[in-house]
């Protein structure tokens, strides 16, 4: 796929204009653009000639937010995650349908509708605490069978998140999941050290500190995308 279609760079391709996660969401909301989701990144850019360009080598942040807690631990009313670099504590309100569930992840795609309303926002709560808000709880999806450890997995259909039992690295449909103990943040692509080349874009990292910097792509929202209610 040499032409990724209707996609442009939100951050400069030479890497002089990178964002951390909050900056990426805030910049996209201000400009009323939607960040390219993990699924669309995989379909339209991951293995294109554009993604192979050294000028835009990873890591690349996607617009898919994932939330999970420690393996075997129940989801409670709020999920929490602390960025060890900055000490900032992030929280995410867990929808009632997910409270009490184990070994799942919550996922939602960043989206700005035609009226400029954003689905994801970051809200300061004071004392170095930040609430990651989804302004439409119905858009939050429970992702079942979220793996308890790093490895190669097939992906679920909606977000392209690795799930289920481990598979062989040579399965062309496999993606490498990077995870930590608990997490609230964006999925990041192409940053796994030591994989190299083709395998870089097969990495789906759900463990990048919110303070880390990466490039971002924005996506022109398809006309079929439902408006946020």
Q: Is the distance from CB of 119 to CB of 108 less than 8 angstroms? A: yes
Q: Which residues of 39-78 are buried (b: 16+ CB within 10 A; e: fewer)?
A: bbbbbbbbebebbeeeebebbbbbbbbbbbbeeeeebeee
**Residues 57-105: pLDDT tens digits?**
567 888 999 999 999 999 999 999 999 999 999 999 999 999 999 999 9
Percent pLDDT > 90 in the chain is 57
Per-residue model confidence (pLDDT) at position 181: 97
Whole-prediction pTM: 0.85
Per-residue model confidence (pLDDT) at position 46: 66
Q: Which segment of 28-37, 66-75, 100-109, 134-143 scores lowest on mean pLDDT? A: 28-37
Rounded mean pLDDT of the chain? 82
Q: Which has the higher per-residue pLDDT, 88 or 54?
A: 88
């Amino acid at each position: 796929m040499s032409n990724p279609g209707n996609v442009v760079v939100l951050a400069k391709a030479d890497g002089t204009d990178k964002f951390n996660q909050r900056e990426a969401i805030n910049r996209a909301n201000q400009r009323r653009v939607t960040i390219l989701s993990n699924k669309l990144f995989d379909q339209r850019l991951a293995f294109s000639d554009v993604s192979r360009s050294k000028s835009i080598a990873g890591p690349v942040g996607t617009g898919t937010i994932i939330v999970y807690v420690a393996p075997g631990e129940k989801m409670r009313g709020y999920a929490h995650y602390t960025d060890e670099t900055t000490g900032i504590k992030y929280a995410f309100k867990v929808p009632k349908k997910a409270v009490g569930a184990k070994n799942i992840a919550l996922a939602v795609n960043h989206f700005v509708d035609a009226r400029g309303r954003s689905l994801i926002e970051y809200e300061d709560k004071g004392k170095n605490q930040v609430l990651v808000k989804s302004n439409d709880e119905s858009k939050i999806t429970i992702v079942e069978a979220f793996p308890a450890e790093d490895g190669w997995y097939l992906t679920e259909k909606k977000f392209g998140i690795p799930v289920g039992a481990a598979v062989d690295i040579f399965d062309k449909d496999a993606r490498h999941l990077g995870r930590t103990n608990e997490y609230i943040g964006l999925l990041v692509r192409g940053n796994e050290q030591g994989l190299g080349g083709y395998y870089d874009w097969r990495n789906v990292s759900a463990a990048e500190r919110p303070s880390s910097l990466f490039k971002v792509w924005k996506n022109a929202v398809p006309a079929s995308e439902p408006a946020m209610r």
